[in-house]
Chains A and B, each alone.
Chain A
Amino acid sequence: MFRFRPAPLRAAAFLAVGFVLLRAGYRVLFAGASGPGLLLLDLPRVPLAGPFSQVALLGPVTAGGLANAALSALPVAALILVFGVLNAVVDVSRLFARGAGRGPLRTVSRALVIAWATFPALLDSVRRVRVAGRLRGGERSIPALLVPVFEQTIERALALAASMEVRGFAAAHVVDGACERPAVMTDAALGFGDPREDGPDAGHGDGRRDWHLAALNLEFEPGTLTVIAGATGSGKTSLLHSLSGLFQHFFEGRQAGRITVGGADRAGTPPRDTAGFVGVVSQNVRLSFVAENVRDEVGFALAVRGVAAVIVDQRAREIAGRLGIEHLLDRQVHALSAGEASLVAIGAALASRPILLLVDEPLADLDAAARVRVCGLLERLAHESGVCVVVAEHNTREWAGAADAWLELRGNRAHRLRAGDAPGSAHPADGPAGLATAPPTPVAPGTTGTTGTTGTPLASIRRLSMRRGADLVVHEVSLEIAAGEIIALEGPNGAGKSSLLGALALPAARGTVFVSGRDVAALRPGERRAAVALVPEHADDLLFSTTVAEECRRADRAVRRSEAAGAAQPAADRFAGLLGLDLASAGHLLRRHPRDLSAGERLCLVIAIQLAAAPSLLLVDEPTRGLDLEARALVGAALLRAGRTASAVVFATHDRDFARALATRTISMQAGRAANGPLVGAP
């Protein structure tokens, strides 16, 4: 409630002084500064005409007149100061936090709490997009900064809203669930779009009139763990959220047939009303956090139901104990690591003791150790606590020991598999990263590139270090990269892979990174892009146009502006080429909004944009993050093709198989240090 901040007081003092001066200024200008005392300025009086005839300008200025003006301003100035003191001492944001979720102003107070919790994310977002602008070769236009930040903000709002909805926010008609039948689908079908609507893309086949998934007859039992597998776009998330109700009530999907959860009809019951027995862990858990600290996050579902604060707190501590995260309870949610964030999100979903727990791709962002922990936890919830756990996942291998049943989505149908024929074993494609469609061999060293000559290295890195705050995240890394190499950078979360790539692309100090014999830190942005280009982990940050074609044109223009010896090939051609298409058959993609592309296509777009300046060295951070086999194959092939434009490619990845299938060399990182060869002892 009370604390002291000097800034508001300073601002108020500034305003108060400004106010006094302003009033004196008005008096001088509008003939009000005359009076007794010393005559300072003898200005002529200028009467105005017409409707302003009662007003005169200027006139004599005396010391007494000015003093009068200042004195008359003092009451208001004092009022400004009083409010400055109040603002300095009272913490108004705490007042609003108390009212959140209750009382007649709960919308406003909850929105204020969300706004407050959004600031760290917003600052992060701005920082990231700024870096992205530099990576794109000094792209400094206003849309380049504002549009990606805005898109991320809206995305965050939607994720937050979904997360609040499934945790019972604004529930009006709470339903009780029957434990023995957590979820049953009878002859159900799921699809998007209004079947009667003739959409503008009706010309591209009648896809929108049809069901995305049909003939679903499924029953999910208590105490079991079911894994839903399938390619991106096969409908894993749709199926999962047809049980949570978000599909029907939030994403505007259509449902036919009957789906019940805990006996309640899903089509007629919005997620908020079943929050008492359905728990949901969304895919990007960081975006789903609604509170500022872990304690409030875990207790949110109970707090919005109006449970007494003491009980909410007790329950939060109990859950944290069960998940082994007591030490995190008072941590700010934005300060959690990826693994910790997943555990907190699961904890938050357990707050209402669900009988059905729905988890969307929990392993996507995690390193090996955190994956084992999350898998084990969900398995125990199913088999020891009797929860019906349903997981949508394309990383099927990790679940081999834990799952009781598998569903594979293929060709608009769900195929039920028994534990023996898990997709991991049934599909040989899960072997070497599914690179069946990729060209079999990388390009031979020395055959590409315009700058690298055999013998001297293309790039050399000399004792490169990087600090983030007090931590040394990259520690004196020295490396030589030859033309034609495709290097995989491996290592656990937090080993410094992204930091190393970032430092290579935008080195802070001179004398650390040399490409083709030139010091990267000393180059102008345009030249730097021709030496080294980075596709960052959040590749979307680089996109800000409303169509793919416009995005490509911008990239070409930027290269021409910088007068660097850019690629002869336009970015749109290259984008098509990376996807293995020609320009004509990629036409429908070029007309789309960049954010309407699939994740794999979008990554290829950013690679194409970053290749526009024909960099000698291309860096790609986590190209397979969140991609299924098909998309991974697409990106893998694109990287090989990119290797023909750039002289060398370095990519960071968690994905061993992907690394092995592509790379000519592996470099592993641990605690900021790099070593040649794969990590020893990693799974």
Chain B
Amino acid sequence: MIRAGGRWTAGILVGGSILAAAGFAWPLFAAAVPKDAQAAVPIVAFALVPALVVALALTLDREMYTAKTVALLGVLSAVGAAVRIAGTGVGGVEAVFVLLVLAGRAYGARFGFLLGLLTIAVSSMLWGGFGPWTPFQMFACGWVGAGAGLLPQVGRTGTRAGPGSRLGARLEIALLAGYGIAASYLFGLVMNLWFWPFAVGGGTGISYAADAPLGENVASFTLYTLVTSTLTWDTVRAVTTFAGIVLVGPAALSALRRARLPGARPRSTSPRGGGTRTHPSTAPGAAAAPRTGPRPSARA
């Protein structure tokens, strides 16, 4: 979906993401700020991240304004929200990453980013979980989807493991499953980072100390994140994501690629030998009928 002005959009997206990353990591930067201003750092971070969510959504809004993109975004974010809410009852089994990774891979980084944003928005609306944490969740999920879109193409075209081959399709699933594990842990890490000072408060060995050296804060944070989620929730999430991508990945990717979003990655990596259907269906959900009698055409 690169158009005129695409480079500007890319610049805004990258810049916005870097600023947002700084918002997430405020506990590590606060020491660099003059003493008098340190109290303001968390407040600035809390205002910055929501503003960036809106800014990036506005940037993407124009270029995503086509019927197919909007319909897919809407429908898939409903699926994501449903999966997310169904998962909360099962102890943090966050299967939503499976969807974000597969959709980001099939439709590209920008779609993946917006889908992450929307999935959080819809699920928060559904169970009423809006709060100061929502923009942070949006960004983190958006990055998960975008990251999958930025992964390299597997294999070289024309080789045995190239896109479209059976081996290529397996390699792609392996790549995505590996990414899913990494994304699960990183997601937990960044979500812990911004909330850590609030969660622990003062007075413990792992408390955030604004005036302590960076190394000490990093050590405290490492202990905090290990105890809080890395060993528990994040591991469960990584396992779920890995298993989900391996189990439903091939079928789901081929379903997504069938939709052929303009600007998406070429379908050549379809595990089904390229026989992708584009025939407008006639009977309910009917598929391509065998093409009848090839004839020489008038103008071919």
Contact = CB atoms under 8 A, between A and B. Distances in A.
Interface of A: 5, 7-8, 11, 19, 22-23, 26-27, 29-32, 51-52, 54-57, 68-69, 72-73, 76, 79-80, 83-84, 86-88, 92-93, 96, 104-108, 110-119, 122, 141-143, 146-147, 149-151, 153-158, 160-162, 164-165, 169-170, 187, 189, 191-192, 195, 199-201, 205-212, 214-215, 232-234, 236-238, 241, 246-247, 250-253, 256-257, 272, 283-284, 360-361, 364-365, 392, 411-412, 540, 544-547, 592-593, 595-599, 602, 625-628, 631
Contacts of B260: 252
A8 B129 contact: yes
A540 B61 CA distance: 35
Nearest to B297: A211
A563 to B, nearest CB: 26
Could you tell me the dominant secondary structure of chain A's interface residues?
Answer: helix
Given A69-B201, A283-B281, 10 more contacts: A8-B128, A11-B128, A86-B130, A104-B61, A107-B64, A112-B121, A150-B251, A157-B74, A201-B274, A626-B284
Interface string B106-145: 0000000010011001101111111110000000000000
B78 A122 contact: yes
A210 B78 contact: no
A620 B300 CA distance: 44
B277 A54 contact: no
21 contacts: A51-B219, A54-B220, A76-B198, A87-B128, A104-B58, A112-B77, A114-B75, A118-B78, A119-B82, A122-B82, A154-B259, A161-B67, A164-B71, A191-B300, A209-B294, A210-B295, A210-B296, A272-B67, A544-B251, A546-B254, A596-B275
Contacts of B117: 108
Sort A-B residue pairs by CB-CB distance and give the 9 closest, nearest first. Answer: A233-B289, A114-B74, A8-B128, A32-B204, A87-B128, A626-B283, A161-B71, A207-B291, A118-B78
B275 A200 contact: yes
Contacts of B128: 5, 7-8, 11, 84, 87-88
A584 B252 CA distance: 29
B300 A7 contact: no
B44 to A, nearest CB: 17
B241 to A, nearest CB: 13
Contacts of B69: 107
B5 interface: no
A151 B255 contact: yes
A347 to B, nearest CB: 20
A333 B277 CA distance: 29
Contact of A29 (B65, B125, B227, B296): B227
Nearest to B131: A83
A68 B60 CA distance: 47
Contacts of B61: 104-108
B220 to A, nearest CB: 7
- Among A22, A54, A256, residue most surrounded by chain B Cβ atoms (within 10 Å): A54
Contacts of A192: 278-279
Given A26-B199, A164-B70, A206-B294, A153 B79 contact: yes
Nearest to A25: B227
Given A29-B227, A122-B82, A412-B293, A169 B67 contact: yes
B248 interface: yes
B298 A256 contact: yes
B77 A54 contact: no
B161 interface: no
Contacts of A602: 287
Nearest to A230: B282
B283 A55 contact: no
B288 to A, nearest CB: 6
Interface of B: 57-58, 60-62, 64-79, 81-82, 114, 117-118, 121-122, 124-132, 164, 198-207, 215-216, 219-220, 222-224, 227, 244, 247-248, 250-252, 254-256, 258-260, 271-275, 277-300
A189 B296 CA distance: 11
Nearest to B68: A161
Contacts of B57: 105, 108
B65 A546 contact: no
B282 A361 contact: yes
Contacts of B126: 119
Nearest to B295: A412
Given A108-B114, A252-B278, A115 B295 contact: no
A558 B71 CA distance: 37
Contacts of A237: 280-282
- Among A57, A146, A392, A628, residue most surrounded by chain B Cβ atoms (within 10 Å): A146
Given A111-B74, A205-B294, A73 B201 contact: yes
Contacts of B81: 115
B292 A233 contact: yes
A19 B128 CA distance: 18
A627 to B, nearest CB: 6
B226 to A, nearest CB: 10
A332 to B, nearest CB: 16
- Among A84, A107, A210, residue most surrounded by chain B Cβ atoms (within 10 Å): A107
Contact of A143 (B60, B64, B248): B248
Contact of B199 (A23, A54, A360): A23
Nearest to A231: B289
B130 A83 contact: yes
A598 B273 contact: no
A272 B205 CA distance: 62
Contacts of B275: 199-201, 592-593, 596
A158 B298 contact: no
Nearest to A156: B75
Contact of B247 (A142, A596, A627, A631): A142
